[in-house]
A and B are shown apart, each in its own frame.
Chain A
Amino acid sequence: CNKADLGPISLNWFEELSSEAPP
């Protein structure tokens, strides 16, 4: 598969989603 199909990738996705999600 092509990585570009998946949009921008972040190595710190877990921390970023945790800071964005409601507590």
Chain B
Amino acid sequence: HSIEQTEIADLPACDSLNPGNLQLVSKLKNPSGSCSVDVSAMWWERAGLKEPCIITACEYVVSLWKPLDTWQWKNIYTWHFTEVPVLQIVPVPDVCNLVCVALGNLEIRELRALFCSPDDGSEKQVLLKSGNIKAVLGLTKRRLVNSSGTLCDQQVEIMTFAEDGGNKEKQFLMPPEETVLTFAEVQGLQEALLGTTVMNNIVIWNLKTGQLLKKMHIDDSYQASVCHKAYSEMGLLFVILSHPCAKESESLGSPVFQLIVINPKTTLNVGVMLYCLPPGQAGRFLEGDVKDDRAAAVLTSGAVAIWDLLLGHCTALLPPVPDQNWSFVKWSGTDSHLLAGQKDGNIFVYRYS
């Protein structure tokens, strides 16, 4: 395996919004010729040493990169796919040396686990599930949840991996009578799981018993909301949503994320804050990631915008490089870096402060 990477690039720079917040520290060039689709960061152990690695996905290739000195990266493992392209990386927290991927064309058709053989170190992959998969999320305690099937035979399934990534157990949650679009864990309640549905409901399950506890209808102003983060505090449920279908409004600008608060006992809920673009910026949410009190989104304008969820405003903007829009963005799970990627395989690592 050669070192495919990288010198610190001098572009793209952060614009004048708050230039101190984002500092480019590294660039990684994915050598695969196919279109780059996702990036993630995870811990990987080799020869007894656990390292914060980067994982990149192109349509037919997933690569694992280990850190070298001076912010360079070395490709150590590569998994190849021949029939169905990769749609997204699905990191599973608390599992070392295993990552899941979702494959499909427009919709997810397969979930696969990627790992290495303990015997000879060669790349391995196993099919976890195939079918009409609507949503998937890696959960704490080595669990993976997915929803599949059509409305009348929808299944919501939890797989639990053993510590070494093998021997998975299966459990089913009670399906709601509408298609689940996204999942989110609830900070502060380990056994709770949220889902958003096509009917603009938020559903909540008890992961231990599989019970569907409540269906809570949220504001119809935004359809098909995506749930990024949820936490329980003082008897209330706080949820960060994004609205890929939101229309830009002259008075409010473009709401990219929203914080709502729900009383799960009564299902009554109210919007607390809209996270909009700064004046003069246009674009709708394409895809994004929320970690702790930071939210990042790729916008239809090709830019990346970052919000401080506590301050309530946009703190940094990465404009598109000429002829090269941003296409995906993730917060690193192993440190406080932002990973921003472009379709041509360039991944930029930024320090955000």
User: With A and B bound together, what is the CA distance between A12 and B264 in angstroms?
Assistant: 10
Interface size on A, residues (CB 8 A): 17
B261 near A6 (CB under 8 angstroms)?
yes
A17 near B234 (CB under 8 angstroms)?
no
B211 near A21 (CB under 8 angstroms)?
yes
Question: Could you tell me which residues of chain A, from 1 to 23, have a CB within 8 Å of some CB in chain B?
Answer: 1, 5-14, 16-18, 21-23
Given contacts A1-B272, A5-B270, A6-B236, contact A13 B211 (CB under 8 A): no
Given contacts A17-B213, A23-B209, contact A6 B263 (CB under 8 A): yes
B235 near A18 (CB under 8 angstroms)?
no
User: With A and B bound together, what is the CA distance between A10 and B264 in angstroms?
Assistant: 9
B265 near A5 (CB under 8 angstroms)?
no
Interface centre among A1, A14, A16 (most CB of B within 10 A): A14
Consensus secondary structure, chain B interface: strand
State how many angstroms separate the Cβ of B161 from the closest Cβ of chain A. 25
Taking the complex as formed, is B97 at the interface, i.e. its CB lies under 8 A from any CB of chain A? no
**The residue from A9, A18, A21, A22 contacting B265, defined by CB atoms under 8 A apart:** A9
Taking the complex as formed, is B23 at the interface, i.e. its CB lies under 8 A from any CB of chain A? no
Given contacts A5-B268, A6-B266, A7-B268, contact A14 B234 (CB under 8 A): no
Given contacts A10-B235, A21-B212, A22-B211, contact A16 B265 (CB under 8 A): yes
State how many angstroms separate the Cβ of A9 from the closest Cβ of chain B. 4
Taking the complex as formed, is B199 at the interface, i.e. its CB lies under 8 A from any CB of chain A? no
Given contacts A6-B261, A6-B263, A10-B235, contact A18 B213 (CB under 8 A): yes
State how many angstroms separate the Cβ of B239 from the closest Cβ of chain A. 13
Taking the complex as formed, is B135 at the interface, i.e. its CB lies under 8 A from any CB of chain A? no
Which partner residue on chain A sits nearest B260 by CB separation? A1
Interface centre among B174, B262, B263, B271 (most CB of A within 10 A): B263
A14 near B266 (CB under 8 angstroms)?
no
Given contacts A17-B213, A18-B209, A21-B211, contact A10 B265 (CB under 8 A): yes
Give every chain A residue within 8 A of B343 (Cβ-Cβ): none
Which partner residue on chain B sits nearest A22 by CB separation? B211
Q: Footprint of A on B, CB under 8 Å?
A: 174, 189, 191-192, 204, 206, 209, 211-214, 232, 234-236, 261-266, 268-272
Question: Closest 7 interchain pairs by CB?
Answer: A7-B266, A6-B263, A9-B235, A17-B213, A21-B211, A1-B270, A11-B235
Q: Footprint of B on A, CB under 8 Å?
A: 1, 5-14, 16-18, 21-23
A-B contacts, 10 of them at CB < 8 A, read A1-B261, A1-B270, A1-B271, A6-B268, A6-B269, A6-B270, A14-B189, A18-B213, A21-B211, A22-B211
Q: A14-B264, A17-B206, A21-B211 are in contact. List 14 more A-B contacts (CB 8 A).
A: A1-B270, A5-B268, A5-B270, A6-B266, A7-B263, A8-B265, A9-B236, A13-B264, A13-B265, A18-B211, A21-B213, A21-B214, A22-B211, A23-B209
